[in-house]
Each structure stands twice: as structure tokens, then as C-alpha cells.
Amino acid sequence: MTLRVDFTPMVDMNMLLITFFMFCTSLAKPQTMDITMPVKDEKVTEEERNKVADTKAITIILGEKNRIFYYLGKPNYTDYTSLKEATFGSSADKNSLRTLLLNRNRVNVMKVTKLKDQKARKQIKQADFDEALKKIKSDKDGEVVIIKPMEESTYKNLVDALDEMQICSIGIYAIVDMTEGDRFLVKNLQQAGALSKTAEQVAAEEAKAAQTKK
């Protein structure tokens, strides 16, 4: 006797399964990230742009081979130790970028944590949460981070740095181009201060380079 298995009913079952998963599975939503780009208004003076440099500004330099450097406030071209090297590690690493940002932005981090806890407990609505979170991150007393990727850095390093901004509740940050002064700081650190210059010398070199480009 010849046996024959009819798989026609399987077609209906497969269609039902596909329809079920289409309606019950949430589709992947595109993730967006707000980036504050530097203003190009020529009316803004250099003093106004740097008015938070001494207290709140953190400049991050993304280097080659996954290296990351930073300095606080204004750059010090005479002291090569003013530029420090960090890692992309977790908060357990005392030398990581995350540890630095969490310590510097401790007040806002605590506010955001409390706000998320209220949302988890359903004490506030989503609209109120978004409004309060936006207010916290736009606080002028928070940290201002300037990210400067070198030509040798990778796109992954930039994405990792932007992720740290979200993790550490940094509301004001920008991606800007490297300057000759920034390159000098990195080279001077690598050579243990052998290239130390005064701020006036570096400023004159940057002005000369800018004039050449024009």
C-alpha cells in the first residue's frame, strides 16, 4: 500500500502563526539622540563661549587606538599633566569616563534617578516625566561636555562617548572639530611635556593656521 501525507492543512496553520506574530510582536523603533551642535553666531564673543570653561566645561578628545583624553576647564599648554587619559570602562573603573562624568554631574544624576523611580511607581505620567527630564538636562548648572574626535578615532568611539552622555544624564554636549591646540596637548602628553608652550604661543599658531585656510 502506498502512503501519502497531505501537508495542505499546514499552509493554513503557517498563515495563522505568521499573522499572530505580526500582530503580537512589537516592531523595532528607530532610536534618536539629541545632539547640541555649537552655535555659529558671529555676534557671540569668545568670552561668552568660554564663560563656563573654568567651572563646568569638560573637553573630551577621542584619539587613535580607542584612546580617550580629557581636560577640565581651559586647556593648560604649559602643564602636560592637565590632559588626562581615561577609559571606556564602567563606573567600577575609577579611571573611566563614566566615573568622571557621574562624579561631576552627581546632582543631576540623582535628580534623574529619583524621577525615573517616580515613573516606575506610576506616580507621574509620561508627559510630566518628559517635561521634568528636559528641565533637568537643560539646567545651566549642569556639566557642559565638548567632544572632539581626532581623524584617527573610530565611529564606535564617538557612539560610545555619546552613550556616556545619556548614561550620566549630561544634557548639554556638542561635537566640535579638533584644533591645533588640542593636537598639541595630546602630543605633549605622549612626550611627557617635552613640547610645553605658553598659551600665547599656541593661540598665535592657531590664528596663523586659520589665516592660512582663508
At 131-157, the pLDDT tens digits run 888 888 877 667 889 999 998 899 899
The yes-or-no verdict on residue 17 having pLDDT over 90 is no
Backbone angles phi, psi at 62, to 5 degrees: -90, 115
Distance, CA of 11 to CA of 181 (rounded, Å): 68
Closest CA to 172 of 149, 142, 133: 142
**Distance separating alpha carbons of residues 179 and 61, to the nearest angstrom:** 11
Amino acid 77: pLDDT: 83
Per-residue model confidence (pLDDT) at position 33: 54
Structure confidence at residue 78 (pLDDT): 83
Alpha-carbon distance 113 to 25, whole Å? 30
Arithmetic mean of pLDDT, 42-47: 52
At residue 67, the pLDDT reads 92
What are the distances in angstroms from CA 166 to CA 1, 10, 93, 176, 207? 70, 48, 18, 18, 35
The rounded distance, in Å, linking the Cα atoms of 51 and 54 is 7
Q: For residue 83, which of 191, 167, 166 has the smallest C-alpha distance?
A: 191
Query: Which pLDDT does position 29 carry in this prediction?
Result: 58
Say what the pLDDT of residue 79 is.
Answer: 85
pTM for this entry: 0.66
